[in-house]
Amino acid sequence: MKAMKFAFFKGCKIPYYLEQYETSTRAVLKPFGVRLVDLEFNCCGYPNRDIHFESFVFSAARNLAIAEKKRLDILTPCKCCYGTLKYAQHFLKENEHLRGDINKELAREGLAWRGKIAVKHILTVLCDDIGLPAIYASIRSPLGNLSIAPHYGCHALRPSDIVHFDDPLAPSIFEDLISATGAKPVEWPRRLDCCGNPLWVKNRGISLSLMRAKITDAAESGADCLCTACTYCQIQFDAIQNAEMSEDSRITPMPSVLYTQLLGLSMGLPERVLGMKRNHIQCDKMPRA
């Protein structure tokens, strides 16, 4: 297989809030010959989009330009970063006036956005670039008796005409990748719904009720565990669920794992890199790393 090289866009939260996502991502990609290059990126721009459009586009454009300068495609494990970079790319492509102004500012530090590089989410890289056959071939200990509910995450999936991630109404990439690990992907009605995290600091009540609806649905659909592939979704379902819902008698805790952890487990990778123990809510049925 041809060696693949990406600029690794980990986003703001991974280093201090979800280290296991970085270590597990690196660990599962390594056997497939994927090299991740660390560049000094800034915030993707998502958090500021609520109040200021240009600063969101510029933040994203700067990241894109930094990677473009190194002629590297971006790989991000976070769906919010992924979506935001894709949205910005779309606006830059579509709006000449905006592109001109952004490039003028970028030029001050010798950067430019030309739209020459691709932004990829880790699931796409695993499924398309590495390919399912290679993933199947890498499995050492299939996770036979696990029922996993894939949580798709909004910003990777929609709006489909901008992100081009998968079919927005009937996506299958996540189920395919879960099947590869030997676990059973669960069909659940709310799999495409929002996790609630974008409202976490803005309106806690709604944020929690969005999450509660999903957890209840996953449990009713027979899932042992949720599976995410997004920094924010995982923080919501793991750390926040643990902190906020442990006293909520209406629901039993629903563990959530990162897809890279799940895959790593089935590839027989060690706990040291997978960081299963860092997850706040443990899944009893999950085999030990």
Q: Which is nearer to other proteins, 140 or 202 (CB)?
A: 202
Q: Which of 213, 219, 239, 267 binds other proteins (CB under 8 A)?
A: 213
Based on the shown chain and the rule CB under 8 A, indicate whether residue 54 belongs to the binding site for other proteins.
yes
- Does the footprint of other proteins cover residue 48 (CB under 8 A)? yes
> Can you tell me the distance from the alpha carbon of 87 to that of 46, in angstroms, rounded to the nearest whole number?
10
Residues 139-178, interacting with other proteins (CB under 8 A): 154-155, 157-160, 168
Closest approach, Cβ 193 to other proteins, in A, equals: 6
Candidate residues 122, 194, 218, 269; the one interacting with other proteins per rule CB under 8 A? 194
Q: Which of residues 13-32 bind other proteins (CB under 8 A)?
A: 13, 15-16
**The only residue of 24, 25, 59, 260 in contact with other proteins, by rule CB under 8 A:** 59
Residue 185 lies near other proteins (rule: CB under 8 A): no
Q: How open is the CA angle 56-57-60, to the nearest 5 degrees?
A: 85
CB-neighbour burial class of residue 270 (10 A; exposed 0-12, middle 13-18, buried 19+):
exposed
Distance CA 267, CA 289 (A): 10
Outline where DSSP puts E strands in the chain. Answer: 4-8, 34-37, 73-76, 119-121, 147-150, 184-185, 225-228, 256-258
Q: How many CB atoms lie within 10 A of CB 181?
A: 26
Going by the DSSP 8-state scheme, the letter that residue 230 receives in this structure is: S
Q: Which of 18, 64, 75, 98 binds other proteins (CB under 8 A)?
A: 98
Task: Confirm if 72 and 3 have CB atoms less than 8 A apart.
Answer: no
- Tell whether residue 86 is a contact of other proteins (CB under 8 A): no
User: Binding other proteins by CB under 8 A: which of 4, 39, 43, 134?
Assistant: 43
- Residue 107 corresponds to which tokens in the numbers above? 């030029």
Closer to other proteins at the Cβ: 50 or 187? 50
Minimal distance in Å, beta carbon 247 to other proteins?
18
Cα separation, 232 vs 86, whole angstroms: 17
Is 248 among the residues that bind other proteins (CB under 8 A)? no
Instruction: Quote the strand ranges of 122-269, DSSP E.
Output: 147-150, 184-185, 225-228, 256-258
Give residues in contact with other proteins (CB under 8 A).
12-13, 15-16, 40, 42-43, 45, 47-55, 58-59, 62, 91, 95, 97-98, 105, 154-155, 157-160, 168, 193-194, 196, 198-199, 201-203, 205-207, 209-210, 213
